[in-house]
C-alpha cells in the first residue's frame, strides 16, 4: 500500500509483557487474554510471541479453532462460554474450557453427548452485574455441576469492576470467599489491574489482558510507567502536505481551530477511518520527527492536522508517530475521552500491519 500509515507490532514487547505479568503473580498460572482479535493486534500475528503462557482466554469459537489449527495445544478458555447448545460439539472436538454463567448452559451440558468431560469455569457475579450466578447460588450450582458426568475440572471465576482502585477488590473478594466456603474450588479472579496491584486476588490463575499489549488498565500511563511494560503497537504515518496560516485562518471541518497568528501546520495521512479517534480534540499529543507537538482542528476520515511550530524542520515525508513508544496510547485515549482498549480494537483493516 502506497499510503504511508502503518501499524507495527513488537513481538519482543509482547514476550516481555507476559514476563512482567508472571513476575507480578509468580505463584499463579496465566491466561493470556486475546479476545477481540488480541485487542486489535491480531491473534494470528501475536499468539506465538505469547506461547510461553499457560493458556489463552478469548470469546469466539472461531478464534479458538484458529489457535488449535495453528498448533496451540494447551488450554483455551471461552470467557463468555457457549452461546448455543450446538457449540458444545465444537468445544468437545477442540478440547476447550468453557465458562458457565446461566442455568440453560447447565441443562445443555447435562444433555450433551461428549467424547470426554469438559473443563468449566463457573462464573460468579461478584457485584458487576453482567454475567454469572449470585454468590448465594454458587454452592448449589457448584455441587450440581460436580454431579454431571460431562463436567471435568472446575474452577470458580469472577471479575472486578474497580480493580484499578486501591480498595476496589475488597468487597467483591469478600463475596467470593463467602460463596466458596466449603468448596474445593480453584479460583481465577484477577484481571490486568488485579494482577499488577492486588496480589491477594491471584489464586490459581490470573487473566492479564490490556497489560500484555503495554497499556494501562486504569487508562493512566503514569500508573504503569514504573512497571516495565512496553507498548506493542506503534501507529505511524507521514506528513503529506504543509499549510502556512495567517491570523484568523480556520482549519478543517467546522473550523474548530483558528490560528491566533502566523502558523505552519502539517497534514498527516491518518484519520478516523484508520482507527484514530474522531473526537480527539486540538491538543492531542503527536510526535513529528521525534518532537512532541499536538493535533489541531477536527480529525477527518483520512487526514489530521498537526502544529509544526515546535518542529520547523518538518516537511512533506516527515515521519509521525500517532501512538507507540514515545506517544503513549493511554495519553491519546485520555485526550479523546476514551481508553486505550478502544483505540487498539479500532485499528482499521485498511491499515497495513508489520510484525517485528
- Tens digit of pLDDT for each residue in 217-242? 988 888 888 899 999 999 999 999 99
Print the domain residue range for 37. 11-215
- If asked whether residues 140 and 177 sit together in one domain, one would say yes
Per the annotation, the verdict on 213 as an active-site residue is no
Does 226 map to a domain? no
Does 183 map to a domain? yes
Quick one: pLDDT at residue 97?
Answer: 98
Does 4 map to a domain? no
Does 1 map to a domain? no
- If asked whether residues 260 and 158 sit together in one domain, one would say no
Boundary of a domain, candidates 215, 248, 278: 215
- If asked whether residues 16 and 127 sit together in one domain, one would say yes
Cβ-count burial 304-336 (b if 16+ within 10 Å, e if not): bbbbbeebeebeeebebbbbbeebbbbbbbbbb
Q: In Å, how far are 33, 87, 166, 252, 283 from 257, measured between CA atoms?
A: 40, 53, 40, 8, 10
- If asked whether residues 282 and 331 sit together in one domain, one would say yes
pLDDT in tens, 173-231: 999 999 998 898 999 999 999 999 999 999 999 999 999 999 999 888 888 888 999 99
128 is in an annotated binding site: no
Boundary of a domain, candidates 215, 242, 263: 215
- If asked whether residues 152 and 275 sit together in one domain, one would say no
The residue-averaged pLDDT of 333-338 equals: 96
- If asked whether residues 152 and 16 sit together in one domain, one would say yes
What is the overall mean pLDDT for the chain?
96
Question: Is the whole model's pTM more than 0.75, yes or no?
Answer: yes
pLDDT in tens, 246-257: 999 999 999 999
- If asked whether residues 151 and 268 sit together in one domain, one would say no
Does 85 map to a domain? yes
Does 125 map to a domain? yes
State the catalytic residue, choosing from 23, 74, 253, 255. 253
- If asked whether residues 57 and 201 sit together in one domain, one would say yes
- If asked whether residues 36 and 141 sit together in one domain, one would say yes
Does 245 map to a domain? yes
Per the annotation, the verdict on 328 as an active-site residue is no
- If asked whether residues 202 and 59 sit together in one domain, one would say yes
Quick one: pLDDT at residue 133?
Answer: 96
Q: What CATH number should be reported for the domain holding residue 272?
A: 2.40.37.10
Boundary of a domain, candidates 160, 186, 215: 215
* Number of structural domains found in the chain: 2
CB 39 within 8 A of CB 329: no
Geometric angle at alpha carbon 215, from 214 and 217, rounded to 5°: 130
- If asked whether residues 140 and 239 sit together in one domain, one would say no
CB 306 within 8 A of CB 254: no
- If asked whether residues 66 and 196 sit together in one domain, one would say yes
Does 220 map to a domain? no
301 is in an annotated binding site: yes
Q: What CATH number should be reported for the domain holding residue 55?
A: 3.20.20.10
Quick one: pLDDT at residue 220?
Answer: 87
pLDDT band at 1 (very low <50, low <70, confident <90, very high): low
pLDDT in tens, 135-167: 999 999 999 999 999 999 999 999 999 999 999
State the catalytic residue, choosing from 35, 213, 272, 276. 35
Amino acid at each position: 500500500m502506497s499510503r504511508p500509515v502503518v501499524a507495527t507490532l513488537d513481538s519482543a514487547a509482547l514476550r516481555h509483557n507476559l514476563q512482567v505479568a508472571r513476575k507480578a503473580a509468580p505463584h499463579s498460572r496465566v491466561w493470556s487474554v486475546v479476545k477481540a482479535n488480541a485487542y486489535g493486534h491480531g491473534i494470528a500475528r501475536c499468539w506465538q510471541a505469547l506461547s510461553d503462557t499457560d493458556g489463552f482466554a478469548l470469546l469466539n469459537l472461531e478464534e479458538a479453532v484458529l489457535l488449535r489449527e495453528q498448533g496451540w495445544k494447551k488450554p483455551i478458555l471461552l470467557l463468555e462460554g457457549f452461546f448455543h447448545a450446538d457449540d458444545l460439539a465444537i468445544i468437545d472436538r477442540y478440547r476447550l474450557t468453557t465458562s458457565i454463567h446461566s442455568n440453560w448452559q447447565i441443562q445443555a451440558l447435562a444433555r450433551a453427548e461428549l467424547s470426554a468431560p469438559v473443563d468449566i469455569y463457573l462464573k460468579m457475579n461478584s457485584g458487576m452485574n453482567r454475567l454469572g450466578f449470585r454468590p448465594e447460588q454458587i454452592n448449589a450450582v457448584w455441587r450440581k455441576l460436580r454431579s454431571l458426568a460431562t463436567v471435568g475440572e472446575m474452577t470458580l471465576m469472577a471479575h472486578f469492576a474497580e480493580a484499578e482502585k486501591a480498595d476496589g477488590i475488597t468487597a467483591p473478594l469478600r463475596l467470593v470467599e463467602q460463596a466458596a466456603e466449603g468448596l474445593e474450588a480453584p479460583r481465577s479472579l484477577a484481571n490486568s489491574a488485579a494482577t499488577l496491584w492486588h496480589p491477594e486476588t491471584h489464586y490459581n490463575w490470573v487473566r492479564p489482558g490490556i497489560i500484555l499489549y503495554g497499556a494501562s488498565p486504569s487508562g493512566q500511563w503514569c500508573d504503569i510507567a514504573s512497571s516495565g511494560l512496553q507498548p506493542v503497537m506503534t501507529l505511524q504515518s507521514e506528513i503529506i502536505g504543509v499549510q502556512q496560516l495567517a491570523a484568523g485562518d480556520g482549519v478543517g471541518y467546522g473550523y474548530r481551530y483558528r490560528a491566533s497568528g502566523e502558523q505552519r501546520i502539517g497534514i498527516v495521512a491518518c484519520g478516523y477511518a484508520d482507527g484514530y479517534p474522531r473526537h480527539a480534540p486540538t491538543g492531542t499529543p503527536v510526535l513529528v520527527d521525534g518532537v512532541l507537538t499536538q493535533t489541531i482542528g477536527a480529525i477527518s476520515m483520512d487526514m489530521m492536522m498537526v502544529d509544526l511550530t515546535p518542529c520547523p524542520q518538518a516537511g512533506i515525508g516527515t515521519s509521525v508517530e500517532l501512538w507507540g513508544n514515545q506517544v503513549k496510547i493511554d495519553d491519546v485515549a485520555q485526550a479523546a475521552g476514551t481508553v486505550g482498549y478502544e483505540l487498539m480494537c479500532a485499528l482499521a483493516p485498511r491499515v497495513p500491519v508489520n510484525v517485528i
